[in-house]
Structure 1
Amino acid sequence: NRYGKLLKQLSPTSPGWDGTFNGQPMPSNDYWFRVEFTEVDDLGTQRTVNGHFTLKR
C-alpha cells in the first residue's frame, strides 16, 4: 500500500491479486506496485517497473 506495507507477492504463474489482505477486502483506494523481473535476452537484464492503480469496489 502507499505506506510501504507488502499486501501480496505474486509469482509469474499466479492468478493475480483478488483485492484482499488476510482474507479481508481492501478499501477502494490508490495502490502502488513494483514489478521486478529478468528480461529474456542474452544479457538476462534485471528490471524494475513501478506504478499504481485505483481499486474500485
Structure 2
Amino acid sequence: MGSKILNLENNKKLLYILVSILVLATIVLYSMKTGSIEISFNELIKGLMSNDNSGNIGIIK
C-alpha cells in the first residue's frame, strides 16, 4: 500500500515537471516570435534547426 502512494506522488511530480517544461518551451518560442521583426513560425523553427543564415533566419541565431 505504501509503495503505491509513493509511486502516485512520483507520477504527479513527473507530470508537473513535464507540463512545466512544455509551458516554458511555449513561452520561449512565443517570445522569440513576437520580437521587433515579423517572423513566421515556420521561419522560427527553420532558423532554430538549420545552419541557414539568410534573411530573418539569420537573425534568430
Q: TM-score band, normalised by the shorter chain?
A: under 0.3
What's the TM-score, normalizing by structure 1? Answer: 0.22
Using the size of structure 2 for normalisation, the TM-score is 0.21
Structure showing the higher strand proportion among its residues: 1
Looking at CA atoms only, which structure, 1 or 2, has the larger radius of gyration? 2
Question: Which of the pair is proportionally richer in helix?
Answer: 2
